[in-house]
C-alpha cells in the first residue's frame, strides 16, 4: 500500500518558484491520468489530464509530464502562488478497471510567502 498515515509527503516552495510534484503509478495498462487539487475542507478539483499516447500536456501555468517507461507522472506549476497551497492527487484510469478512477495518496504543497 501507499499509506503514509497522517503525514502526507510535503513540498515546500517559495512564492514565485516553480513546483514539481511527482507521482508513481503501478498499472502499465493505465491509459488516462488526471491531476486533482484539494484545498482544505473542499472536494478535489480537476487541474489537468493526459492520455497515455502523450508525453506532455500544458495548461495555464501547469504542465503534466508522463514517462511510461518508468511509470512516472509529474505536475509542474510555474510561478507558484499562495493560492496553489493544497494537496495534489494523481489519479489513473484504465479500460480494464472500467469506470474506476484510482487515486494516489497525495502530496501537500506549501507555498512560503
**Closer by beta carbon to other proteins, 2 or else 83:** 2
Binding mask 51-90 for other proteins (x = CB under 8 A): --------------------------------------x-
| Ramachandran sector of residue 79 (left: φ over 0; alpha: ψ -120 to 50; beta: rest) | left
Select from 64, 93, 109, 111 the one that contacts other proteins (CB under 8 A).
93
Binding mask 7-46 for other proteins (x = CB under 8 A): xx----------------------xx-x------xxxxxx
- Determine, following the binding rule CB under 8 A, whether residue 5 of this chain makes contact with other proteins: yes
In the numeric block, which cell numbers belong to residue 48? 489537468
End-to-end alpha-carbon separation of the chain, Å? 34
User: What's the Cα-to-Cα distance from 77 to each of 2, 31, 47, rounded to whole Å?
Assistant: 24, 23, 11
Amino acid at each position: 500500500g501507499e499509506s503514509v498515515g497522517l503525514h502526507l509527503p510535503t513540498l515546500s516552495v517559495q512564492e514565485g518558484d516553480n513546483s514539481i510534484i511527482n507521482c508513481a503509478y503501478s498499472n502499465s495498462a493505465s491509459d488516462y491520468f488526471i491531476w486533482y487539487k484539494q484545498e482544505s475542507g473542499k472536494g478535489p478539483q480537476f487541474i489537468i489530464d493526459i492520455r497515455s499516447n502523450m508525453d506532455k500536456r500544458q495548461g495555464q501555468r501547469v504542465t503534466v509530464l508522463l514517462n511510461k517507461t518508468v511509470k512516472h507522472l509529474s505536475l509542474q506549476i510555474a510561478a507558484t502562488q499562495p493560492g496553489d497551497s493544497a494537496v495534489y492527487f494523481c489519479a489513473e484510469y484504465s479500460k480494464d478497471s472500467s469506470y474506476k478512477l484510482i487515486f494516489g495518496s497525495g502530496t501537500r504543497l506549501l507555498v512560503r510567502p
